[in-house]
Amino acid sequence: MAHLKVVDPDRCVGCQLCMFACQRRTGEGGIAEAAIHVRSRGGISRGLTVVVCRACEEPPCAAVCPNGALIKRKGGGVVLAPKKCLGCGLCREACTLQAIFWNEATGKPVICMHCGYCAQYCPHHVLVLEEGHAQG
């Protein structure tokens, strides 16, 4: 299965079109459900970091979920089963890349599902949807 890849964060201009695209999957505006984030490396003059799930084959987030709400995804990464999720936030702490975000309104994590919708909107080829395993 395909997975999203950050090809070159140094090409990122910080337009956040990927974040807004991710939210538009839901049909709404804003960024509460954005599973990808762009932030500065401590002030925007130092450049930008693109933070998104790497589709781990052995995801630490799934390992710590107390209620089996994070199901390992074929091809790496996880899929959230919202009904099982307690909103404890352990997954967020477990993610080494800090790529699990939080929707304050729902009280649940927001995690990339590797659909590649955001990559279609990146104007500067920072993101691609790549076939095969991320850690293959």
Partner 1 sequence: MLKDDPLKRVLYVDLATKKFWVEERPELFEENIGGTGVASKLLEEECPVGIDPRDPKNPIILAVGPANGLFPIASKTVAMFQSPHTGNLGESHAGGRSATCLRLAGYGAVVIRGQSDIPVYLVIDRSGVKFRDARALWGLSVSATGRAIREKETGSGLRSILRIGPAGETGVTYSCVVTETYRHFGRLGLGALFGAKKLKAMCLVGRRSLPVTDRKLYRELYDELLKRLRETPALKKYHDLGTAVNVIPLNERGALPTRNLRQTRFEMAKKISGEYFAEHLLSRRLACSHCPMACIHLAALRTPYEDEPYFYKTTFISYDYEPIYANGSMIGVGSAEGILKLLDTIDNLGLDAMSSGVVLAWATEAFEQGLVGEEETLGLRPRFGDVETYLQMLHHIAYQSNEFYAALARGVAYASSRYGGEDFALAFGGNEMPGYHTGYGAHLTHLTGSRHSHLDSGGYSYDQKLSPEEITPEKLAHILFDEEVYRQILSSGVCCFFGRSVYNYETLSRIFKVSGFDFEVEDLKALGRKILRRKYAFKKARGFELTKLKIPRRILETVSPHGKLEEEFLRQGLAIYKSLLESGA
User: By CB under 8 A, which span of 29-37, 61-69, 71-79, 84-92 interacts with partner 1?
Assistant: 29-37
Instruction: Number of residues interacting with partner 1: please give it, by CB under 8 A.
Output: 32
Distances (CA, A) of 92 to 45, 55, 126, 127: 28, 15, 24, 23
Cα(38)–Cα(45) distance, integer angstroms: 14
User: By CB under 8 A, which span of 27-35, 57-65, 73-81, 88-96 interacts with partner 1?
Assistant: 27-35
**72 interacts with partner 1 by CB under 8 A:** no
Distance of closest approach, residue 67 Cβ to partner 1, in angstroms:
25
**15 interacts with partner 1 by CB under 8 A:** yes
**125 interacts with partner 1 by CB under 8 A:** no
Question: Burial level of 69, CB count in 10 A (0-12/13-18/19+)?
Answer: buried
| 17 φ, ψ (degrees, to nearest 5) | -60, -30
Cα(35)–Cα(118) distance, integer angstroms: 10
Residues at the contact surface with partner 1, assessed by CB under 8 A: 13-17, 20, 23-24, 26-34, 37-40, 42-45, 47, 51, 104-105, 121, 123-124
